[in-house]
Amino acid sequence: MKINGNSIRPGNVIEHQGRLWRAIKIQHTQPGKGGAYLQVELKDLRSGTKLNERFRSSETVEQVRLDQKEYQYLFSDENMHTFMDTETYEQISLESQLVGQERAIYLQDGMLVMIESFEGNPIGLELPKQVTLKVIEADAVVKGQTAASSAKPAILENGLKTSVPPHIETGTLVIINTEDGSYVERAKI
């Protein structure tokens, strides 16, 4: 579907220069001289490379619709991650490069994910917004730090290092944002 260059929004997938790109950030710019344009940060869906591109309202780009289907994570081996279709029980394996190391650390047994495909070929993976992880190492609370809102470093069961509030101890289950690895809240048991 063709759209105007100034209609691109974050999250849109477009075809540009013969490749598929996801818009990450956009910024409307109106310079003193010349016409207004949209500065877009794009990320290649296959290789992960980034590109900054300018689109004017007079330009048209091809917006791509991706097929999304729910899969359940089963297991990983050397450089492959295996998922099962929740409706047909068929299994597919995705290369580690396609999943991405920054997302692979959040995969847990039985986790439901959305696999995006274009023309029948898997090109991406969407994780749940939040996951529950156990703190395996956290610094001790230092007396007197409660006056100001402070955070302390912690290591989670998947190896991720993040900052948590002072009251979080080793063994506590916490909810983590999968987009940036930040602490959300203590898990309710």
pLDDT digits (tens, 9 = 90+) for 58-74: 889 999 888 999 999 99
Q: Which of 57, 64, 61, 19 is nearest to 38 (CA)?
A: 57
Tokens read off for 29 = 């710019």
Q: How confident is the model at residue 82 (pLDDT cuts 50, 70, 90)?
A: very high
Strand partners, 130: 177
Give the contacts of 159 (CB within 8 A, at least 6 positions apart): 105
* Cβ-contact 156, 174 below 8 angstroms: yes
The one-letter code for the residue type at 2 is K
pLDDT at 148: 58
Q: SS3 sequence, 128-172?
A: CCEEEEEEEEECCCCCCCCCCCCCEEEEECCCCEEEECCCCCCCC
pTM for this one?
Answer: 0.74
> Could you tell me which residue, 148 or 135, shows the higher pLDDT?
135
Tokens read off for 153 = 């470093």
Dihedral over alpha carbons 170, 171, 173, 174 (to 10 degrees): 10
Strand partners, 177: 130
Please check whether the domain covering 130-186 is classified as CATH 2.40.50.140.
yes
Q: Which CATH class is domain 2-63?
A: mainly beta
Q: How far apart are CA 157 and CA 155, in angstroms?
A: 7
The one-letter code for the residue type at 24 is I
Report the helix count and the strand count for the chain, using DSSP H and E: 2, 16
* Identical fold, 67-126 and 130-186: yes
CATH node for 67-126: 2.40.50.140
pLDDT digits (tens, 9 = 90+) for 25-54: 999 988 888 888 899 999 888 777 899 999
Q: What is the mean pLDDT of the chain?
A: 88
The residue extents of the domains of the chain are 2-63, 67-126, 130-186
